[in-house]
Amino acid sequence: MADLVPPEIRGSYFGLRNGIGNLVTLIFSFVAGSLLQILTGNTRLAFAIIFAGALIGRLISLYYLSLTPDPHPVLPQNTSRESIPQIARDLFSTNIGRFIVFNVFLNLSQNIASPFFSVYLLSTLKVSYINYQIINVIPTVVTMLVITWWGKHANKSGNIKILHITALMIPFISMLWLVNSSVVWLCAVQTYSGFAWAGFNLCAGLFIWDAAPQENRTRYITLFGALGALGFTLGALIGGNLGPHLPQIKGSYFLTLFLLSGILRLIAVLGLFHRISEVRSVPPTTTTEILLGDLRPRSIVNSWRKIFRRMRP
């Protein structure tokens, strides 16, 4: 994908692609849920239909993937290729390596809390299933609405600027769960979460593609994914084993995990992110210009109009 999509339009392209993907995911999650509700007395038939639909969807995807050409980039002669262990040894001394290390620690601190939000909602707050579904679906909806907006700004202002803004927002997501336990408040927190993570996740992937040397891009992406998954795994293990031994906040150790996760995220952002620099030449842009310049309903609607225009044959 990095070879197929020119760097100057990657933000808009992947914002568009991810926005459509989130819309389709949202629609078909409700379709599947409705089918299970309708066929309550025959769940085997319901799941057979759902799995058959998934199979058909993947076969259609495979067909369109087969139509996509492989660009086969021609690398300069005498190009040196590094092994993954060689790249791993230099993680702390290169710009892209420091970003990979930062992402590992952010994933670890995030997943100390993330697996337990659902448990907290259902076992501690005992919210209804409809409220649980609403709270969980809000980040997907918000991501779908704003990701093209983030992509447009990533094109203009660079990925690091967007990552800097959103990385500073992310530590407070889990901390805000301590403020109030009402459904309305948690919906507001999830809206904030969807807005921040949409920009961060989009630009994290784009930055790896921009920063990785072409001759070793696949290896850097592999290492980024593998170490990121390791961070998620360690975070979940730490949170699951440490949680019951922590002092409780408002009668729940889940809230203590949420606070700990937020503090560790903040430490990762303040301690590691400042050593990562942009690799593209972009004009200077202030945070105020990005966040308040055109974050209006009309701007978001216009972005989606462009999406549907591009979808026309």
Q: pLDDT tens digit string along 131-161?
A: 888 898 899 899 988 988 898 888 888 899 9
Q: Which two tokens stand for residue 41?
A: 């007395």
What is the rounded average pLDDT of the residues 150-174?
92
CA distance 177 to 217: 38
- Examine the pLDDT at 195 and tell me if it is beyond 60: yes
Given a cut of 60, is residue 308 above it in pLDDT? Answer: no
Average pLDDT, the chain: 87
pLDDT at 132: 87
Is there a domain that residue 2 lies in?
no
Is residue 232 a contact partner of residue 105, using CB atoms and an 8 Å limit?
no
Question: Is 77 within the bounds of a domain?
Answer: no
**Percent of the chain predicted with pLDDT > 70:** 91
Q: For the residues of 143-158, what is the DSSP string, one character each? A: HHHHHHHHHHHHHHH-
Confidence of residue 189 (pLDDT cuts 50, 70, 90): very high
Q: Would you tell me the crossing angle of helices 183-211 and 217-242 to the nearest 10 degrees? A: 150
Nearest to 106 by CA among 266, 277, 242, 260: 266
For residue 251, being part of any structural domain is answered with yes
Segment 33-53 mean pLDDT: 88
CATH number of 29's domain: 1.20.1250.20
DSSP 3-state of 252? strand
Q: What is the pLDDT of residue 84?
A: 81
How many domains would you assign to the chain?
A: 1
The larger pLDDT score, comparing residue 177 to residue 39, is at 177
Q: Indicate whether 79 belongs to any domain.
A: no
Give the tokens for residue 168. Answer: 């500073």
Residue 177 lies in a domain: yes
Domain coverage including residue 265: 7-71+84-311
| pTM for the full predicted model | 0.81
Q: What is the pLDDT confidence band of residue 298, given thresholds at 50, 70 and 90?
A: low
Would 78 be classed as within a structural domain?
no
Q: Cβ(173)–Cβ(189) under 8 Å? A: yes
Within a domain: residue 14? yes
Residue at 76 is within a domain:
no
Q: What is the pLDDT of residues 247-276, one digit of tens each?
A: 999 999 999 999 999 999 999 999 999 889
Structure tokens at 152: 């447009």
- Of the two residues 185 and 76, the one the predictor is more confident about is 185
